[in-house]
């Protein structure tokens, strides 16, 4: 569960930041920088990249290029070119080493390519400059938790107003540390305050592990109402029915799970000895 949260957090890319256009006496530079902003605002990433590269070529010595390099990095992330994005942010940091925007964006790019230690190095620098930064604390805490769950949880608990993903990570860590009462409090609060599909599914998994099938069944019912085409929800409910010896209901939900593209690895994990009809 923690790995899933980490993946989701890493892939949640913010839109490219659009600062004031850098000043240049070169008209081609200004024209291309303005055009890049236009395309970024409309999520036309290939055109935005072309114009940003042209602007950089027109005035390569402009100190304001750190802004364009930050945007170019975000453009490359949106184009699924994370290695290029890392190179863009790194070059931008050579020009403007104190830029927290470039540092945070490079950390995001490192997370995207699973370079966790390099991402954490940037996150630690961000936290030295801004100890209460919620995103840096969140990602540093999740990375730390992979090797030291207690320390990772302590980092997450420093966030003044944690978002739902952070609270889910905290609940997962509490469970991992054997503090199920604390995990229960978090899951119950989230299911009441922010009953999204992800929250309800994650809470249901926790309650399935705790063999609280009544709570798990209610959470799965609510999650399915929100997204009746999520095959994994039917699969989890099939597992619940099987544990309660409701075999006919389990078979119905397993069929629904396959029809709605349930994760086949999860199918095998929950029903390793069952042969499914095609």
Q: What is the pLDDT of residues 111-141, one digit of tens each?
A: 999 999 999 999 999 999 999 999 999 999 9
Query: Does residue 217 sit in the same domain as residue 183?
Result: no
Whether 31 and 107 map to the same domain: the answer is yes
- Measured CA to CA, the distance from residue 228 to residue 17 in angstroms comes to 36
Examine the pLDDT at 275 and tell me if it is beyond 80. no
What is the total count of domains within the chain? 3
Q: Do 9 and 85 reside in the same domain of the chain?
A: yes
Q: Quick one: 270 and 243 in the same domain?
A: yes
- Mean pLDDT of all residues belonging to the chain: 90
Residue 66 and residue 7 share a domain: yes
More confident residue, 5 or 203: 203
As a whole number of Å, the end-to-end CA separation of the chain is 29
* 24 lies in the same domain as 84: yes
Asked if 81 and 161 sit in the same domain, the reply is no
- Residue 267 is predicted with a pLDDT of 80
Tens-digit pLDDT profile for residues 253-269: 999 999 999 998 888 88
- Which of 131-139's residues contact partners 24+ apart within 8 Å by CB, and which partners? 132/158, 132/160, 134/159, 134/160, 134/161, 134/162, 134/163, 134/166, 135/104, 136/104, 136/107, 138/9, 138/162, 138/163, 138/165, 138/166, 138/169, 139/9, 139/10, 139/107, 139/111
The pair phi, psi for residue 111, each rounded to 5°, is -60, -40
User: pLDDT per residue over 41-92, tens digit each?
Assistant: 999 999 999 999 999 999 999 988 999 999 999 999 999 999 999 999 999 9
Q: Among 94, 129, 164, where does a domain finish?
A: 129
pLDDT tens digits, 135-193? 999 999 999 999 999 999 999 999 999 999 999 999 999 999 999 999 999 999 999 99
* Dihedral over Cα of 77, 112, 118, 174: its sign: positive
Nearest to 262 by CA among 229, 219, 239, 240: 229
Residues 72 and 123 in one domain: yes
Q: Are residues 108 and 151 in the same domain?
A: no
CA distance 201 to 222: 9
Residue 184 phi, psi dihedral angles, 5° rounding? -60, -40
**Which of 165, 194, 223 corresponds to the end of one domain?**
194
pLDDT of residue 22: 58
Whether residue 155 is found in the same domain as residue 141: yes
The CATH number that applies at residue 273 is 1.25.40.10
In this prediction, residue 102 carries a pLDDT of 97
Residues 4 and 122 grouped into a single domain: yes
What domain range includes position 181? 136-194
Higher pLDDT, 93 or 19: 93
Domain identity same for 275 and 163? no
112 or 16, higher pLDDT: 112
Residue 24: predicted pLDDT: 57
Tokens of 83: 């290695």
Whether 6 shows a pLDDT value over 80: the answer reads: no
112, 129, 146: which is the final residue of a domain?
129
């Amino acid at each position: 569960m923690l790995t899933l949260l980490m993946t989701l957090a890493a892939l949640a890319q913010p839109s490219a930041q659009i600062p004031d256009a850098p000043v240049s006496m070169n008209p081609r530079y200004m024209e291309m920088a303005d055009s890049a902003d236009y395309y970024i605002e409309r999520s036309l990433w290939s055109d935005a990249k072309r114009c940003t590269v042209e602007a950089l070529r027109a005035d390569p010595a402009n100190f304001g290029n750190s802004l364009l390099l930050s945007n170019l990095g975000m453009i490359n992330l949106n184009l699924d070119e994370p290695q290029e994005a890392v190179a863009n942010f790194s070059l931008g940091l050579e020009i403007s080493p104190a830029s927290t925007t470039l540092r945070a964006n490079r950390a995001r790019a490192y997370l995207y390519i699973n370079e966790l230690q390099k991402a954490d190095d940037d996150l630690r620098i961000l936290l030295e400059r801004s100890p209460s930064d919620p995103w840096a604390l969140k990602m540093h805490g999740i990375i730390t938790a992979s090797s030291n769950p207690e320390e990772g949880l302590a980092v997450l608990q420093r966030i003044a107003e944690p978002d739902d993903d952070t609270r889910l990570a905290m609940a997962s860590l509490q469970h991992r540390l054997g503090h199920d009462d604390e995990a229960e409090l978090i899951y119950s609060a989230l299911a009441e305050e922010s009953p999204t599909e992800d929250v309800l599914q994650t809470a249901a998994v926790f309650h399935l592990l705790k063999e609280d099938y009544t709570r798990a069944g209610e959470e799965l019912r609510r999650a399915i109402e929100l997204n009746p085409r999520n095959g994994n929800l039917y699969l989890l409910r099939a597992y619940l029915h099987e544990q309660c010896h409701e075999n006919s209901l389990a078979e119905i939900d397993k069929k629904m799970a396959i029809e709605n593209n349930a994760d086949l690895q999860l199918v095998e994990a929950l029903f390793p000895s069952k042969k499914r009809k095609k």
